[in-house]
Structure 1
């Protein structure tokens, strides 16, 4: 019987390169058609490439959807299956969200790939770290939080003031944007004519990037946080909405890359989206600016999603 060798880059997604990048590690990778299966010590990650349901989005053509899922072990799944805990744990997300699907829990990320985009210099590293550490960092950070284990020793962040100045040079053209040491803050208007909370506007999303707040499990890097202005009085409703937003991110067609998690925000009654990039991703030129552009897009989409959920 003749067996056709699977393509190393289904729909233009470099699964073969991803598999090769994992060879020096202790992880074991194998192919099942358009899915890369990666076995950790106790976990299994699946990187699946599929065709989009609707390939046309605002004049652009979507080439592929990539989902990265690591199913959580039974004991962790039983632990997170409690009201309010999921959002709290997702506050410590790095490049993936703990998400529920049909009673099962996984750490998930997603990438929408457009034809002619050629952004693998940024996207590939995010995919690789989602596979290697997306689940382990969440599990490790959760253990540190609940069992009071000391955080990982952190060296200085690879992100410098020059990185934030570069991002500011672009963001300041489209938003109210300020610099401060190893950080940047921008406001994204969600309604016509609303640009800043300082001006008394209530419908702006707050975007922050900080290089001086290490992750308890991953150590130094870049913290990225998007706080939505919507306030939800009911804790149960907020937790439900956050869960739904993370589910929608995994199903997204024309959505910005999902390498992070929805969780409760600074006010404790608002939704927020958090990501944490390790120092190793600093070498991807312009990644902080990419994260900012995706956050601006995400804020607009989340505002529309929240409206459909009855949140204004």
Structure 2
């Protein structure tokens, strides 16, 4: 059994990282609802990314002073800039906007939950990666579980215009494009540098947008700053940061299958925090999503290749 540099079996470490990733990514929907009651979307996003950009900028300054950062070409920087704009600006603004329009967190998570099927369908043609029959069955069961969890919520939602339900679909597509762009990067910089570039670009874009829209001044309510801390620590550092780490560790299909767990976890969290209904369909959908995640990742772990899906993706790109 392979072990990590700190002595923990690699499979256990991946499992632990995946569990934390699911919780942190799901926290973004809850945090978005928490902040949406206090300020406009642009205000929340502006201060969220300003906070994280300041923290990461300080970390990079310390690392550069200790000469622990390898040089990076303009090509690498430009590519990471594009990936950051798509995966952060394109994704987060649509999620926040949809929720502010009246789309529930569960429905928004449902639309994002379609992402694994899109990624699995495109992984072969674009990356040359292999999605096996067992994994396809897991993906379909996971999709069914996601629909089951949020169907009642989606059908009973009122107040949001019909086109609001298309907004998170655009964000999902933006994250998918960014994911495939990242998988074609062979000489990627360190994860800390990548996260700093992505968050720095988002901070600049949302700050300019907030100033132009006249909503740059934050409210003084304590709940607003709780939401900013929540989104900065849990959603950005935890969820977004682990997304890219796990993407290289486990591969596209395995990581994106974890997205199936977001809607049921969000529904469970919403029930506990906002008294949203949690029915037997929610429990059944959660069980289906968990089972689908195990099936797909178990299928990936059975491959003989040392790098799993990631190795096959790199091989496909090299061809």
TM > 0.5:
no
**Could you tell me the TM-score, scaled by structure 2's length?**
0.28
**Could you tell me the TM-score, scaled by structure 1's length?**
0.29
> Whose RCO is larger (CA < 8 A, sep 6+)?
2
Structure with higher strand content: 1
